[in-house]
Amino acid sequence: MGSREKNTDHIYTRMLGEKLPGAVWFDAPDELVDRQTNERKEENFAQIVDYLAAHAQAGDLVITLGCGDVYKLAKEFAQKLSD
């Protein structure tokens, strides 16, 4: 599914996370699952950046993977580390 396409297959990152031992993800409320709004995205990015800042340790490899503007998450995390 492209980043701008509607998720008609109802496949979510949570489904991958559930199959990876120790994976962490931040669920959205059910009513927002199919909605990709800037507000929701910014909230998710903030949650992820805060989580990474609290849990990542020197030598860890953090990979951001996705479609759309997920690169912004990496930039936010790098900025938080430099602060």
Local confidence band at 30 (pLDDT 50, 70, 90 cut-offs): low
pLDDT for the residue 13: 72
The domain locations on the chain are 13-82
Q: State how far the Cα of 28 lies from the Cα of 74, in Å rounded to an integer.
A: 20
Q: State how far the Cα of 60 lies from the Cα of 18, in Å rounded to an integer.
A: 22
Q: State how far the Cα of 47 lies from the Cα of 25, in Å rounded to an integer.
A: 10
Summarised one tens digit per residue, pLDDT across range 32-57 is 555 556 676 777 888 889 999 999 99
pLDDT for the residue 56: 92
Kindly report the pTM of this predicted structure. 0.67
